[in-house]
Amino acid sequence: MFQSPEFVGLKNYAKAFMSSDFRRGFLNIIWYTIIVVFTQTFLAVFMAVVLYKPIPGQRFFRTFFYAPSVTSSVVISIIFMWLFMKTGYINLLFDNIAGLFGAEWKSIEWLNKPDGLFQLIARAFGGDIAYEKWYFHGPSITLFAVMILAIFTTSPTFMIMFLAALVNIPTSIYEAASIDGASPWTQFWKITLPMLAPITTLVVVLGTMGCIQMFDYVRLATSGGPLDTTLVPVYQIYTETLGINGPIRAGYGAAMAFILAIVIFTLTYIQRKLIEDKTEQY
């Protein structure tokens, strides 16, 4: 960026694959993508089904649930940082719940807790997983906090997409099923979910692409910490290209960006083949 370019061949690509930080960032984003995509899709379907049927204040609730999606990610991130502080409302809520049972809640530093899920499980049984074996730790508590933030802001957008799909399902199908004696639960599993399959494909693909490219929440809330447990590829590309934590290495950042683009394309292709093949009949 500020010096003459130097041809290094595939050196930057090799460096990326050999970098433990880059590998760790990919592992973090894999955990993040799996949990966030599944949860946000489930919640989007649930909210869409609930708000599809006429209920008192339907328009209000639709607007209320959709509001987080149109709010600035900066504002949402700052609010969540306040909520997840050691003296924030999340710890206060758990403290009040514990007090109802005569117990005491030990406040957690949600945004500064590197302990992983599998690490906590191992400790519960008297063991532990060394820090050097970070690939066995599982997603950290801090990463879970970032996941909650992402799910809160993205689920409403997908809810709107599912609502639009529900409107297009002919009511005559449900009427025929009711005449045949199908219960509402059976209608949901045998009619609603299969008919929503095409839009589910779109939601899963868009959700996966968005998760892999996640940047803003990490940049604003954790900066990759603590102990790199929320480090993600796009944030690494950002820091390396602009020299945030050291010298500017635009070539290295570009190499990581190309690797990430290939991963996104491959996953998207696989998802479409696996899901769309099952939805062609609809």
| pLDDT at res. 282 | 47
**243, part of any domain:** yes
User: Where does residue 224 fall: left (phi above 0), alpha (psi -120 to 50 degrees), or beta otherwise?
Assistant: left
| pLDDT at res. 61 | 83
| pLDDT at res. 257 | 94
| pLDDT at res. 2 | 64
**1, part of any domain:** no
Q: For residue 188, give its domain range.
A: 11-71+156-279
Tokens, residue 202: 């779109």
- Which residues are CB-contacts of 131 (< 8 A; sequence separation ≥ 6)? 227
**97, part of any domain:** no
Length of the chain: 282
| pLDDT at res. 33 | 93
**58, part of any domain:** yes
For residues 155 and 45, what is the distance between their CA atoms, to the nearest angstrom? 9
**209, part of any domain:** yes
**Cα Rg for the chain, rounded, in angstroms?**
22
For residues 132 and 136, what is the distance between their CA atoms, to the nearest angstrom? 9
| pLDDT at res. 25 | 92
Q: Give buried/exposed letters for 39-63 (b at 16+ CB in 10 A, else e).
A: bbbebbbebbbebbeeeeeeeeebe
AA letter at 222: T
Instruction: Count structural domains, the chain.
Output: 1
In degrees to the nearest 10, what's the CA dihedral of 263, 268, 273, 277? 160
Find the CATH number of the domain harbouring 205: 1.10.3720.10
**204, part of any domain:** yes
pTM, entire model: 0.89
**255, part of any domain:** yes
pLDDT tens digits for the chain (282 residues)?
Answer: 666 788 888 999 999 999 889 999 999 999 999 999 999 999 999 999 888 887 787 788 888 888 888 888 888 888 888 888 888 889 899 889 988 888 888 888 888 888 888 888 888 888 888 888 888 888 999 999 999 999 998 999 999 999 989 988 888 888 888 888 888 888 888 888 888 888 888 898 889 989 999 998 898 888 888 888 999 999 999 999 888 888 888 899 999 999 999 998 898 888 777 766 655 554
76 touches 153 (CB < 8 A): yes
**15, part of any domain:** yes
| pLDDT at res. 276 | 63
Backbone φ, ψ for residue 231 (5° rounding): -65, 130
For residues 185 and 202, what is the distance between their CA atoms, to the nearest angstrom? 24
Tokens, residue 157: 């957008």
